[in-house]
Structure formats: C-alpha cells, structure tokens
Structure 1
Amino acid sequence: MKWLTAILLILLCALQYRLWFGKNSILDYRQMRQEVEQQILQNTNMKQRNSLLKADIHDLKIGLEAIEERARNELGLIKQDETFYRILPAEQSY
C-alpha cells in the first residue's frame, strides 16, 4: 500500500509540474491570452482606420468639394482670378 501511495504521489507531482510549467501550461495560456487581447485591440484600431480611409475615398470619388479642399490644404492651390492671402501671427518682442 505504501508503494502505491508513493507512486500516486509522484504521478500527481509530475502532472502538477506539467500543468504549471510544461508545454501548453497555464503560464503559456495566460501569455497567449494577453497576445490575443493585444491583437484584438490592434484589429479594432485598424478597422476604424480602414473605415475612415473608405469614407475619404468615397468623398474623393463622389464630391468635387473634397478634392478641392485637399488641393487647397495640401498643395496650396488657388482658383483662377482668386487672390491668396496669408496671415502671419504678429512677432512677439520680449
């Protein structure tokens, strides 16, 4: 009976070691779970970015106002017979 108890105790210790420190252990599970949560957050951010880009593409395909606004802001273009004024902030003297 003592041998059986000893063998069962050794087997229990070996299984516990594998559960906590072996391959696919609880520690591996927790680490993998954190990685999945980070990936979900990244995917959410990318989906939001993609939807903004799709809306921007839609505006550029449909409306000329969006194209004109982009040309004015990014390229500094002005219409024919239009005067461009740039207002600079006043210099501060100390």
Structure 2
Amino acid sequence: MPPATHSGASPRVLLPRIRQGPGLSGSSQLTATHTHVLALGTLFFLIVIVLDKQFALTSGRRFNAFFWTYNAGLVMTVAMMVAHGILTVLAGAGRR
C-alpha cells in the first residue's frame, strides 16, 4: 500500500481520539485532511502511472526532481492541515 494511503487513513483515526474530551465538537481542518491526502497522494499518482505508460514520464531527467518536490510539498501540506485542525479543536475546547 502506498505511503499516501496510510497517511490518508491517519486523520480519520486521529479526529475521534482528539474529540474524546468533554464538550469537544464542531468541524475542523482534520475532517478535510483525509480527503486531501487520498486525492493528492494516491489518486494523483495513479493518474501519473497511467500517463507514464503513454508518455514515458519517468524516463525524463526532470521527473526525479518533480517527484521529490511534490512529495515534500504534500508532507508540508498535510502537516499544516493536521496542526491547524488540532489547534482549532483544542481552541474550541478552551472556549467552553
């Protein structure tokens, strides 16, 4: 299973654990993180695999740079979404 698929499941596991505290409810960035990781991580690279069969993308010189830059950006995006979601949930708990 690709790493993006594993990391796509983690926000779905993390969200109920954070909300177990008393009075924690509402929406946060964590609810959208699951979908974003699966779409940007797994589905995008499934499309790249299909395009690679047609156009031999991986044989190009720039593909390796694209691959690492894209994955670094994906990791940063997911980390910021998770951090923002956790802070939103915890800030909502502090208001009660």
TM superposition score normalised by structure 1: 0.37
**Rg larger for:** 1
TM superposition score normalised by structure 2: 0.36
Higher relative contact order (Cα pairs below 8 Å, separated by 6+ residues): 2
